[in-house]
Amino acid sequence: MVTVPTPTGTPTARGSGRTAERRTAAASPAGEPRRPGRASGGAAAARRETIAGYGFLAPWLVGFFGLTVGPMAVSLYLAFTRYDIFTPPEWVGFGNFVRMFTDDPVFLRSAQVTLEYVLIGTPVKLAAALAIALLLNSITRGSGFFRSAFYTPSLIGASVSVAIVWRAMFAGDGAVDSSLQILGIDLGGWVGDVDLAIPMMIILVVWQFGAPMVIFLAGLKQVPTELYEAAQVDGAGPVHRFWKVTVPMLSPVIFFNLLLETIHAFQVFGSAFIISNGSGAPGGRLNFITLYMYKRGFADMQMGYAAAIAWVVLVVVAIIAAIMFRTARSWVYYAGDNR
């Protein structure tokens, strides 16, 4: 993942002057050049390091295996069963998946609205974030104020309070509807409208452009000024400079934001739940996949079916992420030394 993931940055606890307990053989996943270490401390020191490492990592390891890997395995098993939590799971093979794709129009609609929301909402959100980051990056005064103002929705956007506000503002004769009426546009309420429910949710997610914007801003600050100057000398206009300098130099950050925001968008739940009063209405247009899974699992107690839905989500997310990583090779540009 982009600039981020160089594991463990530095290979070892840097050798102490005294005992030289650094292992040269230590896995050094990061780009940092390994220094020719003195391997005299040898096995005992390495063992001490390992004990210390796992000691520090113990809580995380328990959580990782007990609350992530273990449950993943359980849900994979449950996906092939019928399970209502009161009676033991009953193996049904691929039954859940067959039902999902051949006999459950509600699921298919849910998948469709989720994809619509993710595939439109995320790019629009990132485009807004980048555009506004560029705007902010080119002013000299007051950028701190605007940055904070724009970031605020990212902190509260997923809260129930904001969902309540959204529902009220987008209701018939609410703030949005009446403002549009002044402009001569009469759309009526958005909340109960089959065509406008998803746009309303997309506006909600785009409203939270502040978090990726802040990341873009930090990235923009790292673009060497010389590049722009050189481009300008060569007669490149602003549009050209944007596409030939800004975008390539920002591409790792764009990739990072795209990946995280896409995955994040798949998890939309609370706002859709509140706005539709838990129903996913109108016409299933707010019945995003997480909400549908919740209803199947926790309202209908079809835990096996819900687990199967969860795994479909995981596979779809993995495919999208894989496509992104694949195509990243052709458009994500890493400066020579990525540190």
Partner 1 sequence: MTTVEHVQPGHGTAEITARDAPPARRRGRRRGLATTIVWYLMLLVLAAIVLYPLVWLFFATLKPSSEFGRNSGLLPWEPTLDNYARVWDGIAGIPLWRYGLNSLIVASLAVVGTLASSALAGYAFARVSFKGSGILFAAMIGTLLLPFHVIIIPQYIIFNQLDLLDTYVPLLIGKFLGTEAFFVFLMVQFIRNIPRELDEAARIDGAGHPRIFWSIVVPLLRPALVTGGIFSFIWTWNDFLGPLIYLTSPENYTLPIALRLYNDTTSTSDYGATVAASLLSLIPVLLFFLIFQRMLIRGVATQGLKG
Least distance (Å) from partner 1 to the CB of residue 307?
A: 5
257 binds partner 1 (CB under 8 A): yes
User: Residue 289 in contact with residue 266, Cβ under 8 Å?
Assistant: yes
User: Residue 12 in contact with residue 23, Cβ under 8 Å?
Assistant: yes
Using CB under 8 A, which of 35, 40, 42, 54 touches partner 1? 54
* Crossing angle between the packed helical segments 210-221 and 105-137, to the nearest 10 degrees: 40
Using CB under 8 A, which of 92, 113, 129, 162 touches partner 1? 162
Using CB under 8 A, which of 119, 156, 194, 319 touches partner 1? 156
60 binds partner 1 (CB under 8 A): yes
44 binds partner 1 (CB under 8 A): no
Nearer to partner 1, 40 or 152 (CB): 152
Least distance (Å) from partner 1 to the CB of residue 309?
A: 7
270 binds partner 1 (CB under 8 A): yes
126 binds partner 1 (CB under 8 A): no
CA 197 to CA 285: how far, in whole Å?
A: 6
Using CB under 8 A, which of 168, 194, 230, 335 touches partner 1? 168
186: nearest Cα among 196, 201, 198: 196
Select from 92-100, 113-121, 220-228, 326-334 the region that touches partner 1 (CB under 8 A).
Answer: 220-228
CA 291 to CA 267: how far, in whole Å?
A: 9
List binders of partner 1 among 94-123 (CB under 8 A): none
Using CB under 8 A, which of 33, 161, 185, 336 touches partner 1? 161
Least distance (Å) from partner 1 to the CB of residue 120?
A: 19
Residue 189: half-sphere exposure toward Cβ, Cα within 13 Å = 13
Ordered DSSP codes for 184-213: T-----STT-TTTHHHHHHHHHHHTTHHHH
Least distance (Å) from partner 1 to the CB of residue 255?
A: 10
Select from 94-102, 109-117, 174-182, 187-195 the region that touches partner 1 (CB under 8 A).
Answer: 174-182
335 binds partner 1 (CB under 8 A): no
Nearer to partner 1, 198 or 309 (CB): 309
87 binds partner 1 (CB under 8 A): no
Select from 97-105, 109-117, 249-257, 329-337 the region that touches partner 1 (CB under 8 A).
Answer: 249-257
300 binds partner 1 (CB under 8 A): no
CB atoms < 10 A from the CB of 247, how many? 14
| Triad 156, 314, 197: Cα angle to 5° | 45
List binders of partner 1 among 10-39 (CB under 8 A): 10-14, 16-18, 22-23, 26-27, 29
239 binds partner 1 (CB under 8 A): no
Nearer to partner 1, 116 or 228 (CB): 228
CA 264 to CA 202: how far, in whole Å?
A: 13
User: Residue 172 in contact with residue 188, Cβ under 8 Å?
Assistant: yes
CA 117 to CA 109: how far, in whole Å?
A: 12
User: Residue 190 in contact with residue 170, Cβ under 8 Å?
Assistant: yes
* Crossing angle between the packed helical segments 210-221 and 143-156, to the nearest 10 degrees: 140
Given the DSSP bridges, would you call strands 90-91 and 81-82 parallel, antiparallel or unpaired?
Answer: antiparallel
325 binds partner 1 (CB under 8 A): no
From residue 144, alpha-carbon distances to 140, 153, 209, 339 in Å are: 10, 16, 16, 28
